[in-house]
Structure 1
Amino acid sequence: MIAREWKATCPKQHEQGFIEYLYQTGVKETSETDGFLGAQIFNRELNGEVEITLLTYWKDLECIKAFAGEDIGVAKLYPEDEKYQLNPDRHVNHYQVHENLWA
């Protein structure tokens, strides 16, 4: 299993709106892709803004390519991101999941 991590920051007043938008775009699109196994969204206050982290879980790298394209290290952004004054990471990180134990 592969975990894909993407992060962005936005002003506090856009936090809830952007999280809802993230569900309608990135989470919806990934969940419709073969090999998608799940997602988590984390948020925290950071330097007067909000940092939002999206983790998605995938069967393998080929499944990620079906979603992200050939260069899986480049973040997939959406047209209305700037509405939320988003400062997105342009790159994503991938991790091999060695332990997956849920309480």
Structure 2
Amino acid sequence: MICRIWHGRTLREHADEYAALLKQLAIPDYRSVPGNIDVAVLRRDDGDVTHFLTITHWVSEQSIRAFAGDDLLKAKYYPEDAGFLLEFEPFVQHFDVVAEQASG
């Protein structure tokens, strides 16, 4: 399993609206791709800026390619992001999951 992590920053005054956009647009997009296991969007307010981390788990690099294209580490953005993000970080991070424990 591969963990893919994206980071973005927006002004705090736009954070609630951007969080709603991620919920309505990004999460369904991730979940529509075969091989996507799950999605979590994390938020941290830091003064006038809000950080977002999108953490996804995938069964394989092939499934990530179906979502992001052949350049696996290139960040994927939506046209709507331009109205919120302070910059467009070019890359995401990937980690191999070596241990996990599901709840229950």
Q: TM-score, normalised by structure 1?
A: 0.91
Question: Are 2:61 and 1:64 equivalent residues in the alignment?
Answer: no
Shift of 1:86: 3.8
Provide the rounded CA distance (Å) in 1 between the counterparts of 2:25 and 2:89: 16
Length, aligned pairs only: 103
Shift of 1:27: 1.4
> Aligned Cα RMSD in Å?
1.4
Shift of 1:35: 0.3
- Counterpart of 1:53? 53
**Percent of pairs with identical residues:** 26
Shift of 1:46: 2.8
Contact residue 2 and residue 95 of structure 1 kept, 8 A:
yes
In structure 1, the gaps of 5 or more residues are none
Provide the rounded CA distance (Å) in 1 between the counterparts of 2:29 and 2:85: 22
Contact residue 7 and residue 88 of structure 1 kept, 8 A:
no
Shift of 1:24: 2.2
Provide the rounded CA distance (Å) in 2 between the counterparts of 1:40 and 1:21: 14
Over 6 Å off, 4+ runs: none
- Deviations, residues 26-64 of structure 1 (Å, cap 9, x unaligned): 211110000000011111123530000000110011100
Q: TM-score, normalised by structure 2?
A: 0.90
Provide the rounded CA distance (Å) in 1 between the counterparts of 2:11 and 2:69: 29
